[in-house]
Amino acid sequence: MGSVTVVRPPALRPGARVALVAPAGPLLERDDLTRSCELCHTLGFEPVLGTHAGARAGFFAGTDAQRLADLNAALADPAIDAVWCIRGGVGLTRILDRVDYDGFARRPKPVIGFSDVTALLNALHRVTGAVTFHGPMARAAMSAFSRQHFERVLGQAEAAGRLGCLPVPADVLVPQRERIVSLVPGTAEGPLVGGNLTLLQTLVGTRFLPDLDGAILFLEDVGEDLYRVDRMFTQLKLAGVLEKVHGVVFGTCAECGPGEGFGSLTLEEILADHVKPLRVPAWFGAMIGHQTPQWTIPVGAEAEIDAAKGTIRLLAPAVR
């Protein structure tokens, strides 16, 4: 990996002041703000609502300036213990180059979200070395398992080595409607990076693309025609960013279908075409992204995957 030192933010404890921000798409219901605050209270946190969280400008949650102001204020404020995104959507890449990375680096804290927030999570880690958290949005109801996993990972952010497997055994905790498919059996170790495939693709050619050298790449997507999924993997391949990964974990592609046309590859066939040739341990069917229940994945944390069992185990950080 790169020269930036990995920084593990403080664990999130009861009473923590959690900033609720909407740096991407707009909130679709008035209740989104209420539900986000109520969820914070339920988890024992004190919600701090962003000034412009309820704003709207087209398909964004306010103007770029409004969304950036809320995000930067939360990232740099020493009185804020975590930043939790209310929803994804679109828009984070428009403000990514103006995020206050220096302010965040002075006092790193957990930043949580997924989908469009993938861009922010990986950019913060790439620029500052801080571990971020690919996990549920603040506005969504949490299943019992999602909550347990969220609290376990965020509550021990500084001591990742004690987290154990995510989960063990996989065949019990993965929903029965899903399958774990081993593409290339084996085990591999490396830092976890990734998130939404579409957003990862948009970071190619920018300074915010995560360092995939020796990494465990985890991916998921939603609402994409399968030919687009194939095209995104093709671009990653042509850009040379997949060549040095140590392992691949794919979640699901929710609401992804063949689209219009006379035929389509299946998701499993697309993954076989693009992932198997990497000859690294790889599997899909993980509880990542647009599904319930959902894992909370620490971006930048060292982990071991077992592609035959379908597990991710967080490793203790090296002694420095």
Count of C-beta atoms within a 10 Å radius of residue 257: 12
Joined together, the tokens standing for residue 80 give 């804020």
Joined together, the tokens standing for residue 161 give 């080595």
H/E run at residue 116: none
Question: Does residue 274 carry a catalytic annotation?
Answer: no
Q: Where are the beta strands (DSSP E) in 165-269?
A: 181-184, 187-196, 216-222, 247-254
- C-alpha distances in Å from residue 8, one per residue of 166, 257, 305, 310: 18, 38, 20, 25
Active-site option among 115, 134, 146, 302: 115
Question: Does residue 146 carry a catalytic annotation?
Answer: no
Phi, psi of 177 (to 5 degrees): -75, -15
Question: Does residue 143 carry a catalytic annotation?
Answer: no
Active-site option among 52, 125, 220, 274: 220
Pairing status of strand 46-49 against strand 247-254: unpaired
Q: DSSP labels for 133-178? A: EE---TTSPPPHHHHHHHHHHHTTTT-GGGS-BSSSSHHHHS-TTS
Count of C-beta atoms within a 10 Å radius of residue 240: 10
Active-site option among 246, 290, 302, 304: 290
**N residues, the chain:** 320
| Distance, CA of 121 to CA of 166 (rounded, Å) | 20
Catalytic residues: 115, 220, 290
